[in-house]
A and B are shown apart, each in its own frame.
With several copies, the nearest count.
Chain A
Amino acid sequence: MTTLTNYRPTTRLRVVARTESPAAIFKTEELNVWYGKTHALKNINLTILENEVTAIIGPSGCGKSTYLKTLNRMVETNPAVRISGTAQFKGTDLLNATVERLRSEVGMVFQKPNPFPKSIYDNVAYGPRLHGIRKKAILNEIVENSLKKAALWDEVKDRLSSSAFGLSGGQQQRLCIARSLAIEPTVLLMDEPTSALDPVSTNKVEELMNELKKDVTIVIVTHNMQQAARISDRTAFFLHGEVVEYAQTESIFKQPSSQLTDDYVNGRFG
């Protein structure tokens, strides 16, 4: 298993060296999540570091999305969900925080682009408006900045008032990223953000992530192991609701300590 460099031929995007050791932004301990009787997460102990890109991989149904959605408590939109254990965000108990507040700090991007049936402008301005920003001038600025950060500004600046549904899939996904960025989150959770996109769009979004991680901590779920290898600093491998392995991305792909990880990243199942 020494040939894994093949998985990420474009390592150009990765920041390899780090000068200071980063602080923990999320910390989950003995975290368990059930959907009714389905035990989706089992005793998850993970520490996610600030200003890193953390990738979560694993076969379908292993609990990747559930874990991600626990971090901003979106998992609770399903009323059947029960949670036990602890989860901290910046050192404070997130499971008992005000969700509205938590979520405005922890943004999320979904697998399928999900713009609102509104104009491009209103999509981006939605979050700031929610949080009480009404002044046109400020909103204009936020919209522009966010779209720029999402590398979408040039493509849409002339049609801000047309419907978001008119955009291509890749553009929609970047719009959703811009929408999240508009409220200046400190973390961005991304659940297979490129799996519905074409190669070119995928590449754009990957570049974008690399750009963003200067300001924002990113946690990304992906089923594409090469992607994980390309863009992440650290990777967690989930299986059947458990963390099999969590380590530097290089070590996960080059010298996994578990045979299961080895089998998975080499496509022997999943």
Chain B
Amino acid sequence: MQKPLQVSSQSRIRFRLLKDRFAKLAFASAALFGLLILIILFIRITSEGASSLSLDFLTGRFSTSPEKAGIMGAILGTFWLLAVVVPVTMIVGIGSAIYLELYAKNGKLKAFTQTNIGNLAGIPSIVYGILGLTVFVRALKFGGVVLAGGLTLSLLILPIVIVAAQESLRSVPEQLGDASDALGASKWQTIQSVILPVAFPSIMTGAILALSRAIGETAPLVVLGIPALLIPFPGGIFDRFTVLPMQIYYWTLDSALVAEYAQLAAATSIVLLVSLFILNGSAIFLRNKYSIQS
């Protein structure tokens, strides 16, 4: 057989392999860049904030004097906020996902709702703040209380919860639902006894990730007029409150006035980041654990 094409001279192959290796290095550095920034950010924040971190700081009340200031109020505020956000997003989020994924007929309405949810997920959080300000704080006269903040943040993360829950439901092997249907189960019986139990870990993963988003949000709360300086602890969902990110915001802005505030902001950031890492970490763990099985 004639081989008219000297297609792969040794040197050419070597050159191509070299290019490949070089590119791999470049791509890997790009991927590591994120990790590097993460490390710098964490080192930077730890070195700034670690000295302010103490039990007193965690359990203390807010104060304008740096040496006395604590973040218990903000921590409690975050908890109360979750007391609103968790039930609302779970019920509405999973319910919507079940409807869209398992009940809704494929048609214009479903396509519209789906597109709508996709777009909601892309609306800047500050716009949700304006929605919350206009509806919850002003029109419904809640004022800047936990309920108003919680509902606003619920609306903000709902699209994320819905989409994640939909994906979880979709990832349940179809054959399981088929097996149940083929035994004469009604739709809801199949959902309740086969699909939801299988999808649950993955739904939780998505929900936790969305919740951690809610915990870290600042912009909508700024718009709602959530105060930074708030000394009494919130005791329920009708109380005024503040949260960790607001505290960071206030202290960062005023670090120009009181240098120690930068350390307080950093210390609060550590608390926020560690809680979020724990949350996200557990979500990622959940996902990895259960994705191997299916």
Contacts and interface: CB of A to CB of B under 8 A. Distances in A.
B13 A100 contact: yes
A184 B179 contact: no
A114 B183 contact: no
B56 interface: no
A64 interface: no
B181 A131 contact: no
Contact of B183 (A98, A130, A215): A130
A116 B176 contact: yes
A183 B7 contact: yes
Contact of B182 (A107, A116, A117, A128): A107
Interface stretch (A10-18, A40-48, A74-82): A74-82
B44 interface: no
A53 interface: no
Contacts of B5: 128, 131, 133, 138, 142, 183-184
Nearest to A105: B184
A128 to B, nearest CB: 7
A180 B183 contact: yes
Tell me the dominant secondary structure on chain B's binding face: helix
Interface stretch (B23-31, B139-147, B185-193): B185-193
Contacts of A265: none
B198 A184 contact: no
Contact of B189 (A102, A130, A184): A130
Nearest to B175: A114
Nearest to A73: B181
A104 B5 CA distance: 12
Interface in A149-206: 176, 179-180, 183-184, 186
A184 B12 CA distance: 17
A128 B7 contact: yes
A103 B185 CA distance: 8
A128 B185 CA distance: 10
Interface residue tally on A, bucketed by range? 35 or more
A108 B180 CA distance: 10
Given A132-B7, A133-B7, A103 B181 contact: yes
B182 A74 contact: yes
B179 A116 contact: yes
Categorize the interface residue count of chain B: 20 to 34
Given A100-B13, A112-B175, A131-B12, A184 B1 contact: yes
A47 B184 CA distance: 23
Contact of B185 (A107, A130, A133, A142): A130
Interface string B147-179: 000000000000000000000000001011111
Contacts, number: 94
Contacts of B185: 100, 130
B8 interface: yes
A253 interface: no
Contacts of A35: none
A110 B178 contact: yes
B165 to A, nearest CB: 19
Given A98-B13, A131-B5, A142-B5, A110 B179 contact: yes
Contacts of B176: 114, 116-117
B213 to A, nearest CB: 30
A44 to B, nearest CB: 21
Nearest to A108: B182
A166 to B, nearest CB: 13
Contacts of B16: 100
Task: Name the 4 nearest CB pairs between A and B, nearest first.
Answer: A104-B184, A131-B7, A114-B175, A103-B184
Interface of B: 1, 3-5, 7-8, 12-13, 16-17, 105-106, 173, 175-186, 189, 193-194, 197-198
11 contacts: A74-B181, A80-B106, A100-B185, A101-B184, A103-B181, A104-B184, A110-B179, A114-B179, A116-B194, A130-B183, A179-B183
